Amino acid sequence: MANPYAVLGLSPDADDAAVRARYLQLTREFPPEQHPEKSAAVRAAYDKLKDLDARAEHRLFGGADDETIDELIDTAIRSGPTRRITLNELFRMAGVSGR
Protein backbone atom coordinates (compact mmCIF):
# COMPACT_ATOMS: atom_id res chain seq x y z
CA MET A 1 0.00 0.00 0.00
CA ALA A 2 1.58 3.26 -1.12
CA ASN A 3 1.68 6.45 0.92
CA PRO A 4 -1.96 7.64 1.04
CA TYR A 5 -0.95 11.30 0.69
CA ALA A 6 0.91 10.38 -2.50
CA VAL A 7 -2.01 8.31 -3.80
CA LEU A 8 -4.44 11.19 -3.28
CA GLY A 9 -1.91 13.84 -4.27
CA LEU A 10 -2.30 15.78 -1.02
CA SER A 11 0.09 17.60 1.29
CA PRO A 12 0.49 16.29 4.86
CA ASP A 13 -1.40 19.26 6.29
CA ALA A 14 -4.60 18.55 4.31
CA ASP A 15 -7.74 18.82 6.46
CA ASP A 16 -11.03 16.86 6.37
CA ALA A 17 -12.54 19.04 3.66
CA ALA A 18 -9.48 18.87 1.41
CA VAL A 19 -9.23 15.09 1.78
CA ARG A 20 -12.92 14.62 1.05
CA ALA A 21 -12.89 16.94 -1.96
CA ARG A 22 -9.87 15.22 -3.47
CA TYR A 23 -11.37 11.78 -2.84
CA LEU A 24 -14.61 12.72 -4.60
CA GLN A 25 -12.66 14.22 -7.51
CA LEU A 26 -10.58 11.04 -7.95
CA THR A 27 -13.66 8.82 -7.60
CA ARG A 28 -15.24 10.71 -10.49
CA GLU A 29 -12.03 10.46 -12.52
CA PHE A 30 -11.54 6.77 -11.83
CA PRO A 31 -14.91 5.02 -11.52
CA PRO A 32 -14.53 1.53 -10.02
CA GLU A 33 -16.11 -0.17 -13.04
CA GLN A 34 -13.45 1.20 -15.38
CA HIS A 35 -10.45 1.50 -13.03
CA PRO A 36 -10.93 -1.16 -10.34
CA GLU A 37 -7.32 -1.13 -9.09
CA LYS A 38 -6.88 2.61 -9.04
CA SER A 39 -10.25 3.22 -7.39
CA ALA A 40 -9.48 0.59 -4.73
CA ALA A 41 -6.17 2.33 -4.01
CA VAL A 42 -7.93 5.70 -3.78
CA ARG A 43 -10.53 4.26 -1.40
CA ALA A 44 -7.87 2.66 0.81
CA ALA A 45 -5.91 5.91 0.91
CA TYR A 46 -9.05 7.88 1.74
CA ASP A 47 -9.85 5.52 4.62
CA LYS A 48 -6.44 6.28 6.09
CA LEU A 49 -6.89 10.04 5.94
CA LYS A 50 -10.61 10.65 6.08
CA ASP A 51 -10.73 12.30 9.51
CA LEU A 52 -8.44 13.74 12.11
CA ASP A 53 -8.30 10.48 14.07
CA ALA A 54 -7.37 8.47 11.00
CA ARG A 55 -4.71 10.99 9.97
CA ALA A 56 -3.16 11.08 13.45
CA GLU A 57 -3.17 7.28 13.68
CA HIS A 58 -1.58 7.09 10.25
CA ARG A 59 1.09 9.62 11.08
CA LEU A 60 1.96 7.84 14.31
CA PHE A 61 1.74 4.22 13.24
CA GLY A 62 0.84 3.96 9.58
CA GLY A 63 4.21 4.20 7.84
CA ALA A 64 4.81 0.45 7.96
CA ASP A 65 2.29 -0.07 5.17
CA ASP A 66 3.28 3.01 3.19
CA GLU A 67 6.80 2.06 2.24
CA THR A 68 7.86 -1.49 1.64
CA ILE A 69 10.90 -2.82 -0.16
CA ASP A 70 8.52 -4.27 -2.76
CA GLU A 71 7.14 -0.79 -3.46
CA LEU A 72 10.66 0.57 -3.80
CA ILE A 73 11.61 -2.18 -6.26
CA ASP A 74 8.48 -1.41 -8.21
CA THR A 75 9.31 2.29 -8.30
CA ALA A 76 12.92 1.58 -9.29
CA ILE A 77 11.74 -0.57 -12.19
CA ARG A 78 8.98 1.76 -13.34
CA SER A 79 11.00 4.95 -13.18
CA GLY A 80 14.25 3.34 -14.28
CA PRO A 81 16.38 4.40 -17.26
CA THR A 82 14.39 5.41 -20.31
CA ARG A 83 17.15 4.37 -22.75
CA ARG A 84 16.77 1.28 -24.92
CA ILE A 85 18.02 -2.07 -23.71
CA THR A 86 21.25 -3.00 -25.46
CA LEU A 87 21.90 -6.28 -27.24
CA ASN A 88 24.48 -7.15 -24.59
CA GLU A 89 21.86 -6.59 -21.89
CA LEU A 90 19.44 -8.80 -23.79
CA PHE A 91 22.08 -11.56 -23.76
CA ARG A 92 22.58 -11.09 -20.02
CA MET A 93 18.84 -11.07 -19.28
CA ALA A 94 18.38 -14.37 -21.11
CA GLY A 95 21.41 -15.86 -19.35
CA VAL A 96 23.18 -16.50 -22.67
CA SER A 97 26.95 -16.21 -22.64
CA GLY A 98 29.10 -15.22 -25.58
CA ARG A 99 29.14 -11.44 -25.95
Partner 1 sequence: MARKRPTAVVPRITVQSVEAELKKTDYSKALSLAARLVEAEPSVSHLACYTRTLTLCVDGYLRQGKVKSATETIRLAELFAQSHESQRPAVAATLARCGEFAKALALADVPATRMHIADLCMRRNRADGAPAEIKADFAIVQAAFRDYEAGRDDAVRNALGKIGLTSSFLSWKLFLRGLLAYSTNDAARAIENWQRMPAEGLANLLAAPLRCRIDPEFRRSLPADRATEFDRATENVFSGGLAGELREIQKHTGRDQDLTPIWKPVASLLPKLRAIQPSCVPRLASALYHIIVRQGRPPDLESYRSQFPAPADDPNYDRLRALACEATGEDQFAIEYWISYEQWLATAPAGWPPDLLARARAIVLQRIGRLIEDLKIADEAPAELRRAMAKMLGEPLEPSNFGNPDDYYRKSLELAPDRSEAACLLFDRLMRSQRWAAAERVATDFLARQPDELDLLERLMDALREQGRSVERLAIAKRASAVNPMDSEIEHELIQAYMAAARGHLFQGANDSCERTLAEAGPSREARYPAAFGSLRAILARSRKQSAEAEMLEAQLVGQPNLGPAAALYLSVMGQLAGLKPAQRKSADQRLRNALANAEPTASEAQSLLNAIIDLDFERVDFRGRATLDKKILALVERSVVSESSETEFESVLRTLMNRKNYKTVSTMAPRLAKRFPKSPVIPFIEIQANVLKSPGRRPTGTMLGKLSLARRLAEDCDRPDRSEILDAIKKIQATLDPFGGRFLFGGPFRGDPFDGDDD
Is residue 67 involved in binding partner 1 (CB under 8 A)? Answer: yes
* Alpha-carbon gap, residue 40 to 97, rounded angstroms: 44
| C-alpha span between 78 and 72 (Å, rounded) | 10
* C-alpha distances in Å from residue 7, one per residue of 23, 86, 97: 10, 34, 42
| Number of other residues whose CB lies within 10 A of the CB of residue 46 | 20
Residue 24 vs 90, nearer CB to partner 1: 90
Q: In sequence order, which residues have a C-beta less than 8 Å from that of residue 79 and are 6 or more positions away? A: none
Question: Shortest Cβ distance from residue 74 to partner 1 (Å)?
Answer: 9
Judged by CB under 8 A, the stretch of 20-28, 29-37, 38-46, 79-87 that binds partner 1 is 79-87
* Cα(45)–Cα(56) distance, integer angstroms: 14
| 70: contact with partner 1 by CB under 8 A | yes
Binding to partner 1 by residue 60, rule CB under 8 A? yes
CB of 59 to partner 1, least distance (A): 6
Q: Which of 21, 24, 40, 85 touches partner 1 by CB under 8 A?
A: 85
Is there a contact between 38 and 44 (Cβ–Cβ < 8 Å)?
A: no
Q: Does 87 bind partner 1 (CB under 8 A)?
A: yes
**Footprint on this chain of partner 1 (rule: CB under 8 A):** 12-13, 15, 52-53, 55-57, 59-61, 63-64, 66-73, 75-77, 79-81, 83-87, 89-96, 98-99
